Structure 1
Amino acid sequence: MSLRLYVESPLSAGLEFALPEDAARHVQVRRLQPGDDLRLFDGAGGEWLAKVTRMGKRDVDVRVDAHEAADRELPFDLEVALGMPTNERMDALIEKATELGVAAIQPLQTERSVLRLDGDRAARRVAHWQAVAVGASEQSGRTRVPVVAPVRSLGTWLAAQPDPAPHAGRFVMSTGSAPPLARAVSGVPAGRWLALSGPEGGLTADEEAAAAARGFTRVSLGGLILRADTAPLAWLAQMAVLLSSPA
């Protein structure tokens, strides 16, 4: 299988350019040579056939050839906002969420968050997580890279959410008497699907109430207690099945 690489700049047939540093490193690790094929994508749909034209010690030049249509994305947008688990678990969560087709990820600071980030440290972690999403998109065959948003507090993020339309597709992961996800999804018109999930220890009752006030419906993913890094993935997988099944 040809090496697949994401490039932020728009691509077009005949374009010749030097790959960004990270992408060039992948080419060098794979020991590609001038004339070898690779595939590039820029997030605008499909992917581009390309060839290596020059290998330097640190840089790699390529030429873009033909565009190929490729439709491997989910036909609906699934977004998750989550109380951040510890670093290693967050890395794995972003990787797997990307493989499952997530469109956007919002890291949140909540009352029970173990991981606390702000300032430059937060910006560095978000840049790292975005790179994890890029790598997972390249590996999994996706033609779109999910956006990892800057870290925000739950209260600030909720306040910025648009006023919900009736039967908005917004869910908050809960337990106990919360209805199952399948029942909550039934009858909701297609649109933006958004899930809010808590950190280790879950959301507090006040945080769940604040989410409900912004149009989030309490839902359960089943009778088992899921870890903070498992619940968003379970939601993504269940939603992909529910929304893809015949009515």
Structure 2
Amino acid sequence: MRIPRIYHPHSLAIANDIALSDDAANHVGRVLRMQPGHQLMLFDGSNQVFDAVITRVDKKQVLVNIVDKREEDLESPLNFHLGQVISRGEKMEFTIQKSIELGVNVITPLISERCGVKLDKERLEKKVQQWQKIAIAACEQCGRNRVPEIRPVMNLEEWCSESDGGIKLNLHPRASQSINTLTMPVQNIRLLIGPEGGLSQDEIDMTANYNFTDILLGPRILRTETAALTAIAALQVRFGDLG
């Protein structure tokens, strides 16, 4: 049986006895039906992996003992920030899950003119909490030991105006540049992915004012979730650790 990887939200140390979080305990105890003596791999966001043994399982909690730790850095050399205009239904969840598998460090959900999702502040906050859980699950699956941050929902222009010292990219079907023609050294990337209906012309003009570079992925029009993952993968192949 494959040893499950479980995220723990607090710092871990060898020889400690800890109780797993409620979500982790439910998964380990009720879904996987693991028992005392079974092994787990835990990670706490510190880029370390902790070997643990289950010592107790009951209806309320799962207790484990930490027996070893090791460094395990699977992070991309790119510092990758994805600004994704919120898409409908499971598309947003899919984009978050797969972009994290591809190495994105930070994801900011965005509201634009043509955003098809209309939720009040309270429901958006609950969505962000749900998306953060998806991020954790993606890390558990793909082997990453740092959990990317899902930031609070932002207005498109507010996000575009931020600066992190890197290159800012915006996908555009009539752009003159492609990812392969980007020649400058790239370490920090801020990638904007628009909504299913695309950005308005005013929004495209606005991104130019904040020094975004328009790039073209190819001759075909891609859905928003396809565009995000294609661009991330292409950038990781050219500047990161894929391929």
Is the TM value for this pair above 0.5?
yes
Partner of 2:12: 11
C-alpha distance in structure 2 between counterparts of 1:48 and 1:209, whole Å: 48
Q: How far apart, in 2, do the equivalents of 1:223 and 1:46 lie?
A: 42
Structure 2 counterpart of 1:17, one-letter code: I
Contact (CA 8 Å) 1:109, 1:116: kept in 2 or not? no
Tell me the distance in 2 between the aligned counterparts of 1:245 and 1:175: 26
Partner of residue 217, structure 1: 213
Kept in 1, the 8 Å contact 2:77–2:241? The answer is no
> What is the CA-CA distance between 1:214 and the residue it aligns to?
1.1
* Structure 1 unaligned regions, length at least 5: none
Aligned residues between the structures: 240
For the residue of structure 1 that corresponds to 2:135, the secondary structure is helix
Is the deviation greater in 50-59 or in 64-73?
Answer: 64-73
Report the CA distance between 1:245 and its aligned residue.
7.5
The residue matched to 1:132 in structure 2 has which SS? helix
What secondary structure is seen at the aligned counterpart in 2 of 1:223?
A: coil
Give 1:230's aligned amino acid: T
Contact kept, 8 Å, 2:175 with 2:214, in 1: the verdict is no
Asked if residue 198 in structure 1 is aligned to residue 194 in structure 2, the reply is: yes
Classify the secondary structure of the residue corresponding to 2:177.
coil
Please, which runs of 5 or more residues in structure 2 have no aligned partner?
none
Distance 1:245 1:236 in 2: 11
Alpha-carbon distance between aligned partners in 2 of 1:115 and 1:245, rounded to the nearest angstrom: 34
Tell me which amino acid in the other structure corresponds to 1:173.
L
The equivalent of 1:139 in structure 2 is 141
Measured after TM superposition, the shift of residue 92 of structure 1 is 0.9
Query: Residue type matched to 1:47 in 2?
Result: V
Alignment partner of 2:123 out of 121, 124, 131? 121
Contact 2:80-2:105 at 8 Å conserved across structures: yes
Cα-to-partner distance string for 1:194-244 (whole Å, 9 max, x where unaligned): 101100111111111111111210111111101011111111100110014
How far apart in 2 are the matches of 1:148 and 1:245? 22
- Structure 1 residues 55-74: Cα deviation after superposition (integer angstroms, max 9, x where no partner): 11121011112112212221
1:2 aligns with 2:3: yes
Residue 115 of structure 1, CA deviation: 0.8
CA distance in 2, matches of 1:243, 1:177: 20
Q: Describe the superposition over 1:153-199 as per-residue Cα deviations: whole angstroms up to 9, x where unpaired.
A: 1122223x03x75xx41101111133111212x12x33311101100
Superposition TM-score, scaled by structure 2 size: 0.94
Cα RMSD (Å): 1.6
Pick aligned residue for 1:183 from 181, 184, 188: 181
Deviation at 1:130, TM superposition (A): 0.7
Task: Indicate conservation of the 8 Å contact 1:178/1:220, yes or no.
Answer: yes
Identity of aligned residues (%): 35
The offset of 1:144, in angstroms, is 1.4
TM-score, with length taken from structure 1: 0.92
